[in-house]
């Protein structure tokens, strides 16, 4: 795969920000591919957690190798400590990730922008961001991978005061959060009512401190008759060994056209 480290100016953020991009290359098994074929490659937008940055997925997992096998483009943006929201301090990270970034990437690189070829995933804070964005923009993202997500960030207010400070800066009060379009429970209800629910892969290690909250979200989805896959009983903590295993399973779960798979 070809690897690009990019510094781009975001109008949504009003500043320069970083993004890593992996592009699958031609292989001997794809002799006969044309430039048109390159434009059909699927893309996965991959979000990081609260204490991390845009480089973490390539430093702590084998994601490059997993993606190469499936001809999958990887786009890994920097989300700061934003919870991928349009924040109270006026940095529009949701707008950037959901709208501006796909448009910019399509201008810079050659891959599919069709909904059926566009996916989003993330871990922890990024898992929440992926869930929210997939549920809020189903016209753009057809599948979502949520790895140890925080389905309801407001649950962290009282449990973790330091995180609570970040949440206040990002969302404001709990009431602000509920009314701001950031509640994945309300977004899921809306998508299910519209019969426009994305393909969802939800996972969290059995020993993860967020496992209980993910089981609560699983129960909610089951009661709403959502079609999704949940793996919440496997050994694992809030850790990269677990997420490395699960991102590989998620890529296999994606509806990628067979013509892109090598071997």
pLDDT at 173: 84
pLDDT at 101: 98
- Rounded CA-CA distance 22/241 in Å is 21
pLDDT tier, 178 (very low <50, low <70, confident <90, very high otherwise): confident
pLDDT at 180: 84
Residue pair 115/142 in contact by the 8 Å Cβ criterion: yes
Directed axis angle between helix 211-223 and helix 184-193, to 10°? 20
Domain that holds residue 8: 2-260
- The tens digit of pLDDT for each residue in 209-262 reads 999 999 999 999 999 999 999 999 999 999 999 999 999 999 999 999 765 565
pLDDT at 158: 74
Q: Find the CATH number of the domain harbouring 94.
A: 3.40.50.1820
Residue pair 6/20 in contact by the 8 Å Cβ criterion: yes
Please tell me the total count of domains within the chain: 1
What is the rounded average pLDDT for all residues in the chain? 92
pLDDT at 179: 82
Within 8 A by CB and 6+ apart from 222, the residues are none
pLDDT at 197: 97
- The tens digit of pLDDT for each residue in 93-144 reads 999 999 999 999 999 999 999 999 999 999 999 999 999 999 999 999 999 9
Higher pLDDT, 75 or 176: 75
Tokens 């400070």 found at: 165
């Amino acid at each position: 795969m070809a690897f690009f480290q990019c510094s781009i100016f975001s109008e949504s953020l009003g500043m320069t920000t970083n993004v890593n991009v992996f592009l699958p290359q031609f292989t001997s098994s794809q002799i006969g591919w044309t430039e048109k074929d390159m434009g059909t490659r699927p893309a996965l937008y991959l979000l990081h957690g609260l204490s991390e940055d845009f480089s973490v997925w390539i430093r702590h997992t084998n994601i490059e190798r997993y993606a190469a096998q499936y001809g999958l483009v990887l786009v890994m943006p920097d989300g700061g400590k934003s919870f991928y929201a349009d924040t109270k301090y006026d940095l529009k990270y949701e707008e950037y990730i959901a709208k501006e970034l796909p448009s910019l990437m399509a201008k810079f690189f050659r891959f599919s922008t069709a909904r059926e070829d566009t996916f989003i995933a993330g871990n922890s804070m990024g898992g929440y961001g992926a869930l929210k964005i997939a549920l809020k923009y189903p016209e753009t993202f057809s599948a979502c991978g949520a790895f140890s997500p925080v389905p309801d960030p407001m649950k962290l207010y009282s449990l973790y005061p330091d995180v609570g400070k970040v949440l206040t800066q990002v969302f404001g009060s709990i009431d602000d959060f509920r009314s701001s379009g950031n509640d994945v429970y309300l977004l899921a209800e809306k998508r299910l009512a519209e019969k426009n629910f994305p393909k969802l892969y939800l996972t969290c290690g059995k020993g993860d401190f967020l496992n209980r909250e993910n089981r609560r979200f699983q129960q909610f989805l089951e009661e709403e008759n959502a079609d999704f896959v949940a793996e919440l009983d496997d050994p694992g903590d809030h850790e990269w060994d677990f997420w490395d295993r699960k991102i590989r399973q998620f890529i296999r779960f994606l509806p990628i056209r067979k013509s892109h798979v090598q071997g």
